[in-house]
Amino acid sequence: MAGLLLRGFDIRKGYLDGTTQTRLIEALRPILKAAPLVRPVTPSGKEMSVRMTSAGALGWVTDRSGYRYQDHHPKGEKWPAIPEAIRTIWHDLVSAEREPDCCLINYYDDSAKMGLHQDKDEADFSWPVLSISLGDDALFRIGNTTRGGKTESVWLSSGDVVIMGGPARLTYHGVDRIRPGSSRLLPKGGRINLTLRVAR
Ligand code: SIN
Ligand code: MN
């Protein structure tokens, strides 16, 4: 499908076909078993509505000590490896030479959302963040490279992929809400967003 460029975000609607989406969910199942989703708290102590885990050498976590990447799940185990089915998408759209070292896995239930934020805990912003949407639709909001100002929103559906890079690498973004029941990919509903990152 035709690409959509919104404030520097390269949005590939329908990039992943249904078979590939199903394969990704199957690849995620053992990961979610080995590294269960946790409901993180922000450094100020506020519980997030999104539940999170990671795959890869590093995972992104937040707790009372701050936002950071670390090599283990909050319960202590090393993160599972990023499955080939996911790395392939990075190879095809970003780079075949450099591997992502983090796949952050966000799960949105019917009432989850994510406030406007920048992805800025990575060491090298020359690498994009690659976002993969699976399951229910999400209203994705894009702001500016500084806080505040006008924003624009777009619905992201299952199979959509977004490349957040270049001048837009530090653009504020967030998820206002999901549309419960809009996809049948996940047996229990909800939305999974994967973001592949070069963190080091
Ligand atoms: C994120 O910014 O980490 C998540 C974006 C999304 O859920 O689409
Ligand atoms: Mn983000």
Q: Tens of pLDDT along 2-37? A: 689 999 999 999 999 999 999 999 999 999 999 999
Helix or strand run (H / E) with residue 135: strand 129-135
Half-sphere exposure of 6 (CA within 13 A, CB side): 19
- Mutual orientation of helices 18-34 and 84-93 as an angle, nearest 10°? 130
Output the domain CATH number for residue 143: 2.60.120.590
Q: How far is the CA of 108 from the centre of ligand 1 (A)?
A: 10
pLDDT beneath 50: ranges in the chain: none
Total of domains in the chain: 1
Closest CA to 8 of 176, 143, 134, 193: 143
Residues with CB under 6 A from ligand 1: 106, 114, 131, 138, 140, 156, 173, 175, 193, 195
With CA atoms as reference, report the closest residue to 67 among 46, 86, 98: 46
Contact 137, 182 (CB under 8 A): yes
Q: How close is the Cα of 90 to the center of ligand 1, in Å?
A: 16
Q: Which domain holds residue 125?
A: 4-197
pLDDT of residue 95: 98
- 94 C-alpha to center of ligand 1: Å? 18
pLDDT of residue 3: 82
Model's pTM, two decimal places? 0.98
